């Protein structure tokens, strides 16, 4: 059995601002970026879940990354966006929107420019961090988006989408 290795080609990441810090998500997990708005709140959801949006007929749960990281939510500005992320867990695809303060750019980061996540001093849980990428001499926090969206929230997110979806059986 062959072991998969990281190739040395640069990998593309979408960089964005959150609470004054630069974060990044691997571009292969990103479906699209949309303007903030059209959010419907769902009662009794965890603080990190802002609500759901209608994305071309599909109900998509929206997570506030600041709240997920244990911070207070940033105010909504004209640069606030919802990044639509697709993850896969045990063969099931999950589409989730994450609120970010502002999208920066797509950056290529070579594997040689990525350091492992530090064990201390971070303002978010280190298991959420895939590594620290160096871009133009500064560090960018590379998120492990599968881990950020994992835990019990995914089960709740799936339930939100099912609760908010219209019931076709009732006319």
pLDDT tens digit sequence for 140-162? 999 999 888 874 544 555 555 55
Of 2, 159, 150, give the one whose Cα is nearest residue 90.
150
At 24, is the pLDDT very low, low, confident or very high (cuts 50, 70, 90)? very high
Residue 60 sits in a domain whose CATH number is 2.40.50.180
- Cβ–Cβ < 8 Å for 28, 65: no
Sheet holding 21-26, edge to edge: 102-109, 11-18, 21-26, 138-143, 129-135, 114-115
Q: Is the pLDDT of residue 1 over 50?
A: no
Does residue 4 belong to any structural domain of this protein?
no
At 168, is the pLDDT very low, low, confident or very high (cuts 50, 70, 90)? very low
Query: pTM of the prediction?
Result: 0.80
pLDDT for res 127: 78
Does residue 169 belong to any structural domain of this protein?
no
Instruction: Tell me if residue 114 falls in helix, strand or coil.
Output: strand
The boundaries of the domain holding residue 118 are 12-164
Does residue 151 belong to any structural domain of this protein?
yes
């Amino acid at each position: 059995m062959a072991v998969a290795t990281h190739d040395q080609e640069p990998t593309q990441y979408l960089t964005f601002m959150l609470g004054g810090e630069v974060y990044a998500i691997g571009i292969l997990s990103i479906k699209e970026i949309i303007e903030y708005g059209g959010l419907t709140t769902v009662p009794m959801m965890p603080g990190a879940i802002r609500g759901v949006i209608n994305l071309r007929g599909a109900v998509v749960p929206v997570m506030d990354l600041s709240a997920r990281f244990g911070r207070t939510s940033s105010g909504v500005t004209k640069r606030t966006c919802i990044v639509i992320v697709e993850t896969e867990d045990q063969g099931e695809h999950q589409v989730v929107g994450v609120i970010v303060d502002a999208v920066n750019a797509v950056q290529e980061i070579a594997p040689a420019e990525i350091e492992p996540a530090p064990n201390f001093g971070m303002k978010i849980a280190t298991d959420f961090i895939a590594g620290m990428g160096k871009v133009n001499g500064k560090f960018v926090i590379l998120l492990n988006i599968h881990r950020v969206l994992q835990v019990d929230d995914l089960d709740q997110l799936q339930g939100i989408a099912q609760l908010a979806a219209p019931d076709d059986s009732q006319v």
